[in-house]
Structure 1
Amino acid sequence: MTDVPLTGIKNARDIGGLRTESGAVVQPLRLLRTARLNRPTEADRAWLASIGLRTVIDLRQPFEIAAWPDDLGDLPVERVNVAPTLDSSGDGTFFDLYLLWLDRSGDAFAAAVKALARPGALPALVHCTAGKDRTGVLVAMVLDLLGVGDKAIVADYLISNENLSTDPGDIIFEHPISEELISGSLAHVRERFGSVAGYLTAHGVTDEEIAALRDGLLGG
């Protein structure tokens, strides 16, 4: 993967360099994933400008945005806020929360994918608060659409544990993630919809948009 030299933005990485099961490679610096963007340094902003960042997908709820607003200065990016629900009973497991997102927030994930597939949307950055759960689910679905295998999807997902345990910054790291969370989420989607593509198309993503996203992230 390409180095992402961001110091004020935690849990940051590029999905570029991952290889699909057919042998294609995700192009570098087309899609970044991070934690919240409330404390970027001037160097962070300069680097994001240097790669031509065009779109920021924010998966947070309004109360999170109010508490930790993005601070990208005058970077000319399109900001897209699509928030999976956090309205749970509070007595379930963390995996139950993932399933709640998948079952009740398909429109939010679909809107994020549609935004990434728009002409001129890339390079893009997707984030939530810690950049591990909601971001992890969305990125896992994008990687599946590209044809990246589950082993590589899980490996990318689990990097958040190392990033946040060794350098959390102002992120409170209370809930380490596990392979079962993301593999179980993908299994849930496949059981109900046949595939991640089936899940997204059921929530309004077109075949043309999926093709555009694949071309944008895999094309030379």
Structure 2
Amino acid sequence: MTQLPLVGARNARDVGGLRTESGREVRPLRLLRSARLNMLTDADREWLASIGLRTVIDLRQGFEIAAWPDALGTLDVVRVNTPPSLEAENDPAVTFFGVYLSWLDESGTAFADAVRALARPGGLPALVHCTAGKDRTGLLVALVLDVLGVDEKAIVADYMESDTMLKADPGDVVYRFAIDADLITGSLAHVRTTFGSTENYLLAHGVTAEEIAALRDGLL
């Protein structure tokens, strides 16, 4: 995990360098993650262009995009908006872990569409973000890393890095709920219990075996 040199984006890092249980490694500067991109500077855009960024996956709802539109300027990227539902977040009877489970159970197509965007020819390098870059982004990245075969301890460590980075430099990013390792371990356990594996979960929501193979080829 390497922090990105972006002045205008918080919680921005590269998941490259993480190792799979079989000994392979996630390629550097292929899958990036961050909080919202509404404050990107000219230098930020120049850096993103220099690494050949091709895809930006935005997991936010329309009202969030309207409030904080991405400042991507003229960057030659494909923008993909695949927002999981926030309906459960507004239910006081639902715990925050319940919100994660609602995303998995009710918005699987959103995560699958994001994975398909990562797997498409010429889709990488890609940057995934939401508002704070910790929950929706964290869950999607965890699913991707699990499909790649990254050890769960490393997946959790990447997930928890959001807590460290946002506490150190939140900028103007405000969020309601703190993150906890149990949120991601519980989510992965839920997927495995229900579908057998993360790969099966994605297949059940429309990702093809060929796309999963392309994702692995592109990121490992």
* Aligned counterparts, 1:66-105, within 5 A: 66-88=66-88, 89-105=91-107
Partner of 2:194: 192
Is the Cα contact below 8 Å between 2:119 and 2:211 reproduced in 1? yes
Q: How far apart in 1 are the matches of 2:215 and 2:198?
A: 14
* Aligned counterparts, 1:172-187, within 5 A: 172-187=174-189
Is the Cα contact below 8 Å between 1:53 and 1:123 reproduced in 2? yes
SS in 2 for 1:216: helix
Q: How far apart in 1 are the matches of 2:3 and 2:171?
A: 19
Displaced runs of 4+ in structure 1, greater than 6 A?
A: none
SS in 2 for 1:44: helix
User: Once the two structures are superposed, what CA deviation does each residue of 1:76-121 show, in whole Å capped at 9, x if it has no partner?
Assistant: 0000000000012232111000000000000000000001000000
Question: Of 132, 146, 159, which residue of structure 2 is paired with 1:144?
Answer: 146
Q: How far apart in 1 are the matches of 2:65 and 2:110?
A: 16
SS in 1 for 2:87: coil
Q: How many residue pairs get matched?
A: 218
* Alignment-mate amino acid for residue 17 of structure 1: G
**Tell me, which stretches of 5 or more residues in structure 1 are unaligned?**
none
Is the Cα contact below 8 Å between 2:116 and 2:207 reproduced in 1? yes
Deviation at 1:183, TM superposition (A): 0.1
Task: Answer yes or no: is 1:109 the counterpart of 2:101.
Answer: no
> Kindly, what percent of the aligned residue pairs are identical?
70
SS in 2 for 1:159: helix
User: Once the two structures are superposed, what CA deviation does each residue of 1:48-93 show, in whole Å capped at 9, x if it has no partner?
Assistant: 0100000000000000000000011100000000000001223211
Partner of 1:11: 11
**Tell me, which stretches of 5 or more residues in structure 2 are unaligned?**
none
* Aligned counterparts, 1:193-212, within 5 A: 193-212=195-214
SS in 2 for 1:163: helix
* Alignment-mate amino acid for residue 174 of structure 1: R
Deviation at 1:2, TM superposition (A): 4.1
Between 1:207-216 and 1:3-12, the stretch displaced more is: 3-12
Deviation at 1:175, TM superposition (A): 1.8
Deviation at 1:4, TM superposition (A): 1.4
| TM-score normalized with structure 2 length | 0.97
SS in 2 for 1:80: strand
Deviation at 1:24, TM superposition (A): 0.4
Partner of 2:129: 127
Partner of 1:163: 165
Partner of 2:55: 55
Is the Cα contact below 8 Å between 1:165 and 1:173 reproduced in 2? no
Deviation at 1:3, TM superposition (A): 4.5
CA RMSD of aligned residues (A): 0.8
